[in-house]
Each structure stands twice: as structure tokens, then as C-alpha cells.
Amino acid sequence: MTRFLSCWSARELVVIGVFAAASKVATLLVALAGGGMNPVSLMGKNLIFTTLLVVMLCKVRRPGTLLLFTVINIIVSMLLLGASVTLLPAMFVAALAAEAAMWPGRASSGVGNALIGAAVFDVVSKVLSLGVSWLFMRENPAMMVMAVPFVLTGYIGSVGGLFSGARAVRELRHAGIIHQ
């Protein structure tokens, strides 16, 4: 474990922690300000999360960044928000799949690799969370009819977050905040 963490600078670890906390707080505020889980707040919540994820992946370009971000996000969700532990394996698998998808393009300095990672993470995590939901609701599969539209509505926000994330990275590079 110390070998894994030794390749990270303190600045990178702080950036990952700040982005994990900022994404959790921002998505919670959007959900509360939107009046609950209506379609607009669901899309806005996913848009902000994916935008921050793309920016973080462009700011910290080390292997394992998304996995560490996911671990911090899950810990915060479980401790502070009471999230279910059942989504833990789905999020880990999604982070590992996204890390594998980003592996060939690690050396590139463009935003494309971060977009691929965020897109794979969003798709795999949403599909696997639907799979976990189906596993728990298999006595009443008609309940999935209600869950799928919510997940698809959230995914529309995630796709919008890919575009806004690319634009945010371009602006942050112009401002000199993202150097690579």
C-alpha cells in the first residue's frame, strides 16, 4: 500500500480529496435545491459530478486516480450520507473498467483520455447499479420499470457533463490552472 501511495505527491492527493468532497457537496446541494429527485435536479446532479470528474482526471494524470477518487467518494457517502454498501462493488468495478480504458492514452495531454474514463465510469456504474437493483428486486421485476427511466435521465446529465467538462478543462488550461 505504501508503494502505491508513494508515487503520489501531496498536492495530487489533496486535489483528489478536494474534488471528491466538492463533487459530493455540489451534487447534494443541487439535489436539495432542486426539491428532491426530479428530472431537472437529477440531470444537474450528474452534470456537475461528471464535469468535476473530467476536470480532476485532467488535473491529476496518474494511474489509479479514478480508483482513489471512488474510494473517497464511497467512504464519504457511507459515513455522512448513509449510502448503501451494496453499491460498493459496482463502483469499484466501474472505476477499474475506466482505469483500464484510460490506460493506453495515459501519456496524451489532451482531454480525450479523461472523457473516455469519465464516460466508461458513468456507463459501467449505472449499468451495474441497475444490475444490483434488479438483484434485490427480483421478486418484483416491475419495480425496474420505475428505476430505468431515472437512471437514463441521470445519464443524459452525465453526457452533458462530458461536454461541459471538456469546455471547463479548455478554460482552465487557458487560465493556467491545468498545466498539462
- Residue 178 has a pLDDT of 82
- Residue 179 has a pLDDT of 76
Please give the Cα distance from 105 to 16 (Å, whole number): 20
Q: What is the pTM of this model?
A: 0.90
- Residue 76 has a pLDDT of 83
- Residue 136 has a pLDDT of 79
- Residue 116 has a pLDDT of 94
CA–chain centroid gap for 121, Å, is 7
CB-count exposure of residue 121 (10 Å: 0-12, 13-18, 19+) = buried
The answer to whether the CB of 35 falls within 8 A of the CB of 41 is yes
Confirm whether 180 is domain-assigned. no
State the residue range of the domain holding 107: 2-175
Confirm whether 56 is domain-assigned. yes
Please give the Cα distance from 29 to 41 (Å, whole number): 10
In the chain (180 residues long), the average pLDDT of successive 10-residue segments reads: 68 92 89 85 93 93 91 85 78 94 82 92 92 80 81 92 93 83
- Residue 31 has a pLDDT of 86
- Residue 16 has a pLDDT of 93
Q: Which of 81, 59, 84 is nearest to 173 (CA)?
A: 59
Instruction: Count up the domains in the chain and report the number.
Output: 1
- Residue 157 has a pLDDT of 93
Confirm whether 44 is domain-assigned. yes
- Residue 1 has a pLDDT of 55
Confirm whether 25 is domain-assigned. yes
Instruction: Give CA separation, 18 vs 14, 59, 90, 163, in Å.
Output: 6, 12, 23, 22
φ/ψ of 62, rounded to 5, equals -105, 150
